[in-house]
């Protein structure tokens, strides 16, 4: 993947160099061609940025694993399996006993709804039985949601 990225970055350099009519000053200065290896300086592509967000989310999900898995066909623990939760209706995992509050919430778990639930579960769904603290850091919530999405694609 890295090799492919380097090749496409080189292509971009070549394309920019070939684009003689572009008046922008020294456009090639913005191209970052990274050496191979693991020096993760500035994220160099959208893909790599997404990868590091997912990695951060996986680490942050440590606060959820006592109660949740994100696994196709995986078990419910204290909380329901979160596999594929994005886009589905709240309280729709078979065999999990939800609170009445969650069951009647009418929520569809878009990323925005997940974000506000994680920011303050008890405020979003008064009476929820999810005893997890509010995640006040928006970046952390974004990373966790990116991880859930990624883990649900496998």
Give the whole-angstrom CA distance, residue 122 versus residue 126: 5
Determine which residue in the list 69, 90, 143, 146 makes contact with ligand HEC, applying CB under 6 A.
90
Kindly write out the interface string for residues 40-69 of this chain, putting x where it contacts ligand HEC by CB under 6 A and - elsewhere: -----------------------xx-xxx-
Query: Does residue 143 touch ligand HEC according to CB under 6 A?
Result: no
In terms of Cα–Cα distance, which of 76, 57, 18 is closest to 135? 57
- Interaction of residue 76 with ligand HEC, rule CB under 6 A: no
Residues comprising the chain, all counted: 154
Q: Candidates 74, 132, 134, 152: give the one binding ligand HEC (CB under 6 A).
A: 132
- The DSSP call for residue 86 is T
Given the complex with ligand HEC, which of 45 and 63 has the nearer CB atom? 63
By CB under 6 A, is residue 152 in contact with ligand HEC?
Answer: no
Helices (H), the chain: 2-18, 46-60, 100-103, 111-119, 121-124, 138-152
* CA end-to-end span of the chain: 18
CB of 96 to ligand HEC, least distance (A): 7
Both tokens assigned to 147? 């991880």
Query: CA 121 to CA 134: how far, in whole Å?
Result: 6
State which of residues 45, 52, 76, 99 lies at the interface with ligand HEC (CB under 6 A).
99
User: Minimal distance in Å, beta carbon 87 to ligand HEC?
Assistant: 12
Residues of the shown chain interacting with ligand HEC in the complex, contacts defined by CB under 6 A: 63-64, 66-68, 78-80, 82, 85, 90-93, 98-99, 101-102, 109, 114, 118, 125, 128-132, 135, 144
């Amino acid at each position: 993947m890295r090799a492919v990225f380097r090749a496409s970055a080189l292509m971009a350099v070549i394309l920019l160099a070939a684009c003689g009519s572009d008046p922008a000053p020294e456009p090639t200065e913005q191209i970052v061609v990274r050496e191979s290896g693991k020096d993760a300086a500035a994220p160099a592509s959208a893909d790599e940025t997404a990868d590091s967000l997912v990695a951060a989310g996986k680490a942050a999900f440590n606060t959820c694993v006592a109660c949740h898995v994100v696994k196709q066909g995986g078990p419910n623990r204290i909380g329901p399996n979160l596999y594929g939760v994005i886009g589905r209706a709240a309280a729709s995992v078979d065999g999990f006993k939800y609170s009445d509050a969650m069951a009647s919430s009418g929520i569809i778990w878009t990323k925005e709804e997940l974000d506000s639930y994680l920011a303050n579960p008890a405020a979003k769904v008064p009476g929820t039985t999810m005893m997890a603290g509010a995640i006040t850091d928006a970046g952390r919530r974004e990373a966790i949601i990116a991880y859930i999405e990624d883990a649900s694609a496998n």
